[in-house]
Chain A
Amino acid sequence: MKFVEQLGAKALAAVETLGDYLCFVGTILYWTFRGPGRFARRQLLLQMFDIGTLSIPVVMITGAFIGAVLAIEALPQFQSIGLAGRIGSVINISVVKQIGPVLTAVMLAGRVGGALTAELGTMRVTEQIDALRAMATDPTRALAVPRFVACLIMTPVLTVFSDVLGMAGGWVMAVKVNAVDNAEYWLHTREALDLYTINTGFIKAFFFGAAIASIACYKGFKCGPGAQGVGRACTESFVLSFITILVMNFFVAVLMNALAPSGGGMF
């Protein structure tokens, strides 16, 4: 009986937290459209630089190596059935639809999500968030909105960097190193990589950006006391964003495939 009781209490708490989080996201969206004020607008560019520009190298390096490894692992299979040229479509679809957005989001969850939670958590612990409230300022409006909008804009942009380098990495390994015919490689790529596929990648990136920023800010605002509280909030923020990204990736993939115009390959 005790066990059931505890389970029930846990479930209730989880539902309550989820509700609270969704309210938080609602507040962010409300202020994003109402206009978050002068301070938040000034912060936006800074945040875009912090979140976006500084993440470019990481995202490019990881993208390039994943594209390359994909090529060398898949190529023997395709060569054995005499369809080496087809590898172009496989690599590029994988990169644009899955690897680019997911890898970028995961890197951002670690690099940016952790930093956002630590920053806002420290602000909470040192009463800076209370100071904002005492100055008649909604912390969600002044702090969360610019970070959220910056993530929303920069995640798709960073995905482009990851995609381009992923495609380049795959192409180098397939065409330059393993002598796949260049014309055939691009022919198959062009057949497979339609606008719908490309948009799928960007729509994912957009949602991932929203999830990372909102989870990171939420965890920062709800941070427990002391340095320990900040540390715990950062860990929770990363794990939660990571899970959310992968689960979201699955559902967006199912949805986008169902909506695809011409049956659009189940890759």
Chain B
Amino acid sequence: MQSCLIRLVDLRKSFGRNVVLDGLNLDIHDHESVVILGPSGTGKSVLLKHIVGILRPDSGQVFFRNQRIDNLSERNLEPIRKRFGFLFQGAALFDSLNVLENIAFPLREHTDHNDSQIRAIVADKLAMVGLSGTESKMPADLSGGMKKRVALARAIALDPEVVLYDEPTTGLDPIRSDVINELILKLNDELHVTSIIVTHDMTSAFKVADRMVMLSRGKVIAEGPPNAIRTNPNPEVQNFVLGKASPEDLEALHRNK
């Protein structure tokens, strides 16, 4: 068994009758940057939540550095979760706290830094996401893209080993998106972070990926380096990469006219 950072084995998860993960296998290695592709509603967010134990599988296993974690209690998961940064699809900022306090939250919880040290770290992380000086703003006063970037600053506040990005560039203009892409690359290169990035943004995907994984109907249907995915013969993969609707989708559209 080759040593890997995260290993998902035959993961299955249903919500009621809705089967979301259907025997999914995936290995993620140290310091790589993996992009997860797939149409909306295939379970990409659900997959990310399984990696840190926010959701538990119905069956199958999740390993982190060869330790099985899907059956750990919440309390025993805490030391592992501290090593992760998680950017939620909906940002999930605490809306009763301002930007400073949001980013300071994990620092107050898990470090002994005093207020001025915390302020310095927050300013540093905000600068990384291009939002310097917004410390006193409330989440309600931020645009969707700004919330996402504050949430990203919060996710990397504790300098995690692994960062899970759930659609980091959705809702950002192309230039801001590229800033986030550069940030992902920078964290990988300079801090040797392992990144798992869920995205629909193919420009971003091809820029940051060492490896791409395509999900469909709860399984991995294609996996490999970006070039292999670009030339993958599977029509489902091709349509996704090229951003083309499949003939079945179009047929449904014309039938309904």
Residues of B within 8 A of A134 (CB): 52, 54, 81, 84, 86, 88
Q: A127-B92, A133-B81 are in contact. Are A37 and B109 (CB under 8 A)?
A: yes
Pick from A128, A131, A142: contact of B109, CB below 8 A.
Answer: A142
State whether A133 touches B74 (Cβ < 8 A): yes
Give CA–CA (A130, B96) in the complex, Å.
16
State whether B95 touches A128 (Cβ < 8 A): yes
Overall SS of chain A's interface = helix
What number of B residues sit within 8 Å (CB to CB) of A?
Answer: 25
State whether A137 touches B86 (Cβ < 8 A): no
A136 within 8 A of B: yes
| A interface residues, Cβ below 8 angstroms from B | 37-39, 42, 119, 123, 126-128, 130-131, 133-138, 142
A223 to chain B, nearest CB (A): 15
Residues of B within 8 A of A126 (CB): 90, 92, 95
Residues of B within 8 A of A137 (CB): 78, 105-106, 109
Pick from B79, B88, B90, B154: contact of A136, CB below 8 A.
Answer: B79
State whether A130 touches B54 (Cβ < 8 A): yes
Residues of B within 8 A of A123 (CB): 94
B257 within 8 A of A: no
Residues of B within 8 A of A38 (CB): 108-109
72-99 of chain B: CB within 8 A of chain A: 74-75, 77-79, 81-82, 84, 86, 88, 90, 92-96
B217 within 8 A of A: no
Pick from B77, B88, B109: contact of A130, CB below 8 A.
Answer: B88
State whether B81 touches A136 (Cβ < 8 A): yes
Residues of B within 8 A of A130 (CB): 49, 54, 88, 92
Residues of A within 8 A of B74 (CB): 133, 138
